[in-house]
Structure 1
Amino acid sequence: MSVSTHVLDSVTGRPAAGVAVALFAGDELLASGATDADGRCRLAEGATGTGAHRLVFGTGEWFTGQGRETFYPEVVLTFAVRGPAEHHHVPLLLSPFAYSTYRGS
C-alpha cells in the first residue's frame, strides 16, 4: 500500500508547504513527514495491511507559522484500506475554520 497526501490552503489558493503529517494504523506510527513546496507528502510504500488508517495533520502549528489563527489545532482523517496493494491518495483542502477531503487518485 502506498499513501500520499496533498494539502492546499483554500483561502490563498496555494499549496500548504511545511504541514506535519503522520500516518497511523491503530496506535502504531507507520510514517511521518511534512508537505513539500507543492503541498505534497508521500508517506508509505509497500504493504502495511488492511483496516483503518489515520492521517494526522499538524494544522495548528502550520497556521501559527503563517501568522493566522485556526479553529482546528489538528485534522485527523481516518480511512479504510481494503486493497493493501492499491495507492491511497488523501488530499486535504484547508482553511482556518473549515476543511474538506476526498479520495484522490
Structure 2
Amino acid sequence: MGKLSTHVLDIAQGKPGAGVKVALFSVGAEGKTLLKMDITNADGRCGAPLLEGDSMKVGQYELVFNAGDYFAAQGIELPAPRFIDLVTLAFGIAHAEQNYHVPLVVSPWSYSTYRGS
C-alpha cells in the first residue's frame, strides 16, 4: 500500500518550516471530513505519514497549512490581513498503492506545490 506525506519549506528564510499546523481533509459529495491534524517537526515534516495502509484511499483531499501563524511566530512583519494565511492544497489520489508526497514551498507572498514520491 502507498502512503501520503508532506513537508513545508520556508523559502523566505531558506529553512524547513518547523511548527506549522497541518490539517488533512477528505472531500466528497457530503462535504469535508477532517482526517488528521499534525504539526511539522524541526525538519518541516510530519512525524508519520498522513495516510497509509487501509486509510490510503482513492479520492479527493485537501491539506490546509497555517502558514500565516507560522510566519507571525517567526517574527516576520505581516500586513493585516495577511496576504498568505491558510494555504489549502486540493489534490486527488488516483492510485492508493502509490506514494504521494505533497509538499508546500511557501513565503509570506507566494506558495507552490508538486507531487513527489
Global fold match (TM > 0.5): yes
Q: 1:43 aligns to what? A: 50
Contact 2:68/2:108 (<8 A) preserved: no
- In 1: Cα distance, 2:74 partner to 2:33 partner: 30
- In 2: Cα distance, 1:17 partner to 1:37 partner: 5
Q: 2:22 aligns to what? A: 21
Contact 1:47/1:85 (<8 A) preserved: no
Please say if 1:57 is aligned against 2:65. Answer: yes
SS in 2 for 1:40: coil
Contact 2:61/2:90 (<8 A) preserved: yes
Contact 2:104/2:112 (<8 A) preserved: yes
Question: Would you tell me which structure has more strand in proportion to its own residues?
Answer: 1
Please say if 1:73 is aligned against 2:85. Answer: yes
- Cα-to-partner distance string for 1:46-97 (whole Å, 9 max, x where unaligned): 2332121110001111111111224111100011111112211001111010
Q: Tell me which stretches of 4 or more aligned residues in structure 1 moved more than 6 Å.
A: none
Aligned length: 105
Contact 1:50/1:83 (<8 A) preserved: yes
Runs of 5+ unmatched residues, structure 1: none
Letter in 2 for 1:46: G
SS in 2 for 1:28: strand
How many Å apart are 1:44 and its aligned residue?
1.9
Aligned-pair identity (%)? 49
Query: Which shifted more, 54-63 or 41-50?
Result: 41-50
- Cα-to-partner distance string for 1:17-60 (whole Å, 9 max, x where unaligned): 00000111011111110111000113222233212111000111
2:95 to 83, 87, 92: 83
